[in-house]
């Protein structure tokens, strides 16, 4: 097995997949720094797991520089994101589109760039980005899908850039997961509510955290590149038709 990477930074750790990732990584014996915007949600996480917490918006580069001061992760979990436009491009404002790109794409690239120098010096590290099947397949939401498609290409190209560095790059692309995602998504509230009611047994955040542990605990010579994970009751593909 690989020599265990011991220091993990998880963004978007206030709830959902990010919280589950922090719990799983802490339970595996790693030192975890959980970053999120809601102190009230992070405090119980710290009490439950013993992890460190930092209240910060990942779009705030100055705030994230403070977060990284004195904590050089050898695992970065890029999880924070927003679902603006999930109910349609015509349901969001220009400001919300800019926010989606800034949070889902720009902040992820900036944070990854900030941690890479220390990983390069160490000759090891692991960048894990939580993508989506919406970034791999034709799906709902032009805005959200576009940002997740950008993260897919980012992960693919970053892995190529880092070849020979000892740094691994993993992208995890979930389907439906039982989180606050649809409730928090910005757009038409009726459309968002309808999209949030799948009627199936969805994945749990812990299922995604288990996939994360599988990737980071793989032997040193193994890079789990892309994980596409769906509920048994969900599939992607097909051709849609509609009468105008």
Q: How many CB atoms lie within 10 A of CB 54?
A: 19
Determine the pLDDT at residue 212. Answer: 98
Determine the pLDDT at residue 98. Answer: 96
C-alpha 19/C-alpha 56 separation (Å) is 15
The answer to whether 36 and 82 are in contact (CB under 8 A) is no
C-alpha 3/C-alpha 219 separation (Å) is 8
The answer to whether 34 and 52 are in contact (CB under 8 A) is yes
Determine the pLDDT at residue 196. Answer: 62
**At a CB cut-off of 8 Å and minimum separation 6, what does 202 contact?**
176, 177, 178, 231
Determine the pLDDT at residue 229. Answer: 97
Let me know if 29 is exposed, middle or buried by CB neighbors in 10 A (0-12, 13-18, 19+): exposed
Tens place of pLDDT for every residue, the chain, 244 residues?
445 679 999 999 999 999 999 999 999 999 999 999 999 999 999 999 999 999 999 999 999 999 999 899 999 999 999 988 887 899 889 999 999 999 999 999 999 999 999 999 999 999 999 999 999 999 878 999 999 999 999 999 999 999 999 999 999 999 999 877 666 565 566 665 666 667 889 999 999 999 999 999 999 999 999 999 999 999 998 888 888 8
**At a CB cut-off of 8 Å and minimum separation 6, what does 230 contact?**
133, 174, 175, 176, 203, 236
C-alpha 61/C-alpha 56 separation (Å) is 10
- Distance linking the first and last C-alpha atoms of the chain: 57
Residues, the chain, total? 244
Determine the pLDDT at residue 60. Answer: 96
Determine the pLDDT at residue 55. Answer: 96
CATH among 3.30.460.20, 3.30.300.130, 3.40.50.40, 3.40.50.720 for 7-229: 3.40.50.720
Residues annotated as part of the active site: 144
Determine the pLDDT at residue 10. Answer: 98
C-alpha 68/C-alpha 9 separation (Å) is 9
How do the domains of the chain map onto residue ranges? 7-229
Tell me which DSSP letter residue 90 carries.
G
Determine the pLDDT at residue 184. Answer: 59
């Amino acid at each position: 097995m690989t020599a265990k990477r011991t220091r993990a930074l998880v963004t978007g750790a206030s709830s959902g997949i990010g919280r589950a990732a922090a719990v799983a990584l802490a339970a595996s014996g790693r030192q975890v720094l959980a970053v999120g915007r809601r102190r009230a949600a992070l405090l119980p996480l710290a009490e439950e797991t013993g992890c460190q917490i930092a209240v910060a918006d990942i779009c705030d580069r100055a705030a994230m520089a403070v977060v990284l001061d004195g904590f050089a992760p050898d695992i970065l979990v890029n999880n924070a994101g927003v679902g603006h436009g999930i109910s349609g491009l015509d349901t969001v404002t220009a400001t919300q589109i800019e926010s989606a790109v800034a949070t889902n794409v720009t902040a992820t690239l900036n944070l990854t760039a900030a941690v890479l120098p220390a990983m390069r010096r160490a000759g090891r590290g692991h960048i894990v980005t939580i993508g989506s099947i919406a970034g791999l397949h034709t799906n709902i939401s032009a805005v959200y899908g576009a940002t997740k498609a950008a993260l897919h290409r980012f992960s693919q190209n970053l892995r190529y850039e880092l070849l020979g560095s000892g740094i691994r790059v993993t992208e995890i692309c979930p389907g439906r997961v039982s989180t606050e995602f649809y409730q928090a998504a910005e757009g038409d509230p009726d459309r968002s509510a309808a999209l949030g009611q799948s009627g199936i047994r969805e994945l749990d955040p812990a299922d995604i955290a288990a996939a994360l542990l599988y990737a980071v605990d793989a032997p040193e010579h193994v890079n789990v590149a892309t994980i596409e994970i769906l509920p048994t009751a969900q599939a992607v593909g097909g051709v849609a038709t509609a009468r105008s």
